[in-house]
Chain A
Amino acid sequence: MSSGSTPTVLYNGAAIPAAAIPRLPIERWQRAVLDAVASGGRVCAMFGTRGEAGRPLLTAVVARDDAGMLEVAHGEVPEERLPSLAQECPEVHLFEREIAERLGLGLEGHPRPGPVRAAPGAEPVLGPLDFPRVEGAEIHEVAVGPVHAGVIEPGHFRFQCRGERVLQLDIRLGYQHRGVERALLAGPGKRRIHYAETLAGDTSIGHATAYAELLEGLGGTAAPLRAQALRAVALELERLANHTGDLGALAGDVGFLPTAAHCGRLRGEWLNLTAELCGSRFGRGLVRPGGVRFDLEPARVERMIARLDAALRDVASSVELLWATPSVLARFEDVGRIDAMVARQIGLVGLAARASGLARDDRVHHPSGMYRFAHIPLSIWRSGDVFGRAWVRWLEIQRSAAFVREQLAALPRGEVRGEPPRPRASRFCVSLVEGWRGEICHVAMTGAAGELAGYEVVDASFHNWTGLALAMRDQQISDFPLCNKSFDLSYCGFDL
């Protein structure tokens, strides 16, 4: 493929020279994105920076899941305006809003323009908001948030309803915006790993691993194999904790208290296993560029396996109650449905995509670290409703527990920490990690001295909030908590 006219191919975690990325005129760049999506690709990341002389420079990273590869191209914007692709390619709609917000570009022809998280110095997000309104005598509007009724993160939800039926839900976020993506580039270097660990606190291992593998890719090095195995163990424990907690919360949302009560505790069992490994229930302090900070001695491995078996047995007895209880199934089935076509159009990722029948899992399609050697089966269901998202969680709990057990029983020998990687000059690298919600995408560029010159983060939530909004259409407004929990998206991972 000749460089300069078509997108450049690269692979997860492997850096390429920044100069190898073609710069296309905006029309050609947009055509390339549309063609890639039309032929089965999906947009992992799309962002804008200011290049030479302050000119806007766009970047698109598209994943070709079937071929296990990525494609990247820059687009040059001649004027301070961006014609929108969102009508033809809905999955880019938030990316375009983000580009417009960050660079201050005019967005033309976008079906739903608006703020994403509001840049520093902008007006607070909570102001007079011009939400699209449904008009009519029997229409009423319900506004919720940013402070919610439970112990959860802030966000604003605006429902247009006819009676109990939701016609339209608009989700406005940005309340957790704390400048963490900006600071990953501009802040003190010694704080970067902590920024990565707190991009989304319930996904500390996922984001820290994406960050570490990105730096290792830029440096052309890899963590020792034993460290890669321990990262994978921690990543699956993170998945186990969150999936278990979510199944409990879903049970709570339909008033089925046995599973709600048990899983509330059992989530903690997985977190405590992570703490057994590294002292922190959220895996803080474990993953570092170049390896991990904690090793497992044989006695600890044995202890962890015994606790894992006990936790899985308790989770199974509790979760299986859900599938054996008709009143639970009646509340899960046919609620909040996203079919495969819509899921594909909006670029859904992770467990929500798999629950709608899409085979999307970076551990399978773009494996990095230990997942290159130890495979984990895809867990797929096709119903796309709350039941599907619950069921896929249960399937993944079983797969992840088996994976962790297998890894612990046969950890590779050797060191757990090598030299911290030194990024090479003028490189571009993409790091994909399948977090418990879905794809975590970190992108970085280095400058002429190997310094970080660009850093972008896309949490799975960035893709999937649109899924929640669409899942609520034509549903009872009282089902919102249930639908919301079935996605369980991150506010802070979106707000950055």
Chain B
Amino acid sequence: MIRILRARIQQGQRTIAYPAEPPSLPDRFRGRPRLDASRCRDGCNVCTTACPTDALAVVEGSPRLDLGRCLFCGECEAACPAGALSFGSDHRMATRAREDLLVSDATLRLADALEERTRRIFGRSLRLRQVSAGGCNACEADVNVLTTIVFDLSRFGVQFVASPRHADGLLVTGALSRNMELALEKTWAAVPEPRLVIAVGACAISGGPYVDHPEVLNGVGCKLPVDLYVPGCPPHPVTILDGLLRLLGRIDAEGNAAS
């Protein structure tokens, strides 16, 4: 018992202050990208060629990045001779609408809170059933991390539950493999209304690296209505947390913690 207490004291208090304080991220972290079309040269397409998932397209002479397909590998940034594209240190990237993930400049419309009625129901207590459906398990790992003492998700009233019947929504990872299609359908059918769908990671949003493989359905959006998109491959845990808190109205548009 003394040993346990001694170890406990040595380990110290480790829960991060987010969202009251900004998270501490490594300097090489590849967060929200910024595009500057004014630097682009006519007819240049080295970034689109470098992109492994064709997340980048040149639309009317300007590059456009689909965050929902982006693996945040940074190959485009490395390839661009003009510095028109860079991955910054901003972890905030979750959106409510699929089209909001299309980025062509330095702006991004972050997720709004749920509509008043659903927010009243879920704002202080949200129970999620996680469904893993055809990914690489990295998203699952960094979702799981939210329940550790570092992020302590339950202090916001958010918990993962074992049964979909006890859940207010699904948090889906993976490109939605055909082999998981029926299981996802059945799990969804067991969640009582009103209910949410949260797509975490490039796979769940677009199919990710597996986009257009015959073995997958290019993400959960092909099957269920998605309420929150969290881009990344995988998203940093604090990106997922930020998205959840915005959805619940626990962070306002300015990024301040709301009561």
Which residue numbers of A lie inside 8 Å of B, CB to CB?
117-118, 120-121, 124-126, 146-147, 149-154, 174-180, 182-183, 187-188, 190-191, 193-195, 197-202, 204, 258, 261-262, 264-265, 267-268, 272, 275-282, 284-285, 293-294, 314, 317-318, 321, 324, 490-492, 495
Contact = CB atoms under 8 A, between A and B. Distances in A.
Contacts of B43: none
A282 B53 CA distance: 19
Interface string B120-157: 00000000011111111111111111011110000000
Interface in B160-219: 160, 162-164, 174-175, 177-183, 187, 208-210, 213-216
A342 B78 CA distance: 50
Q: Is the interface of B mostly helix, strand, loop or mixed?
A: mixed
A183 B213 contact: yes
Nearest to B208: A198
Contacts of A176: 132-135, 137, 174, 177, 179-180
B206 to A, nearest CB: 13
Contacts of B132: 151-154, 176
Given A151-B160, A198-B135, A201-B136, 16 more contacts: A124-B181, A146-B183, A147-B183, A176-B135, A176-B177, A177-B177, A190-B51, A191-B52, A198-B209, A199-B136, A258-B4, A284-B233, A285-B30, A285-B74, A314-B10, A492-B137
Contacts of B174: 176, 178
B215 A178 contact: yes
15 contacts: A124-B181, A147-B129, A147-B164, A150-B130, A152-B132, A177-B215, A178-B213, A190-B51, A191-B52, A194-B52, A198-B138, A261-B148, A277-B28, A279-B29, A280-B72
Contacts of B215: 120, 177-179, 182
B148 A183 contact: no
B28 to A, nearest CB: 3
> In the complex, which of the residues A188, A202, A265, A318 has the most CB atoms of chain B within 10 Å of its own CB atom?
A265
A154 B180 contact: yes
B160 to A, nearest CB: 6
Nearest to B130: A151
B59 interface: no
A284 B71 contact: yes
Nearest to B170: A147
A83 B46 CA distance: 52
Q: Is the interface of A mostly helix, strand, loop or mixed?
A: loop
Nearest to B7: A317
Interface residues of B, number: 68
B218 to A, nearest CB: 11
A116 to B, nearest CB: 12
Contact of A175 (B29, B136, B139, B183): B183
Interface in B71-113: 71-75, 78
B162 A281 contact: no
Which one of A200, A279, A282 has the greatest number of beta carbons of chain B within 10 Å? A279
Nearest to A245: B141
B143 A151 contact: yes
Contacts of A150: 130, 144, 160, 162
A195 B51 CA distance: 14
B40 interface: no
A275 B149 contact: no
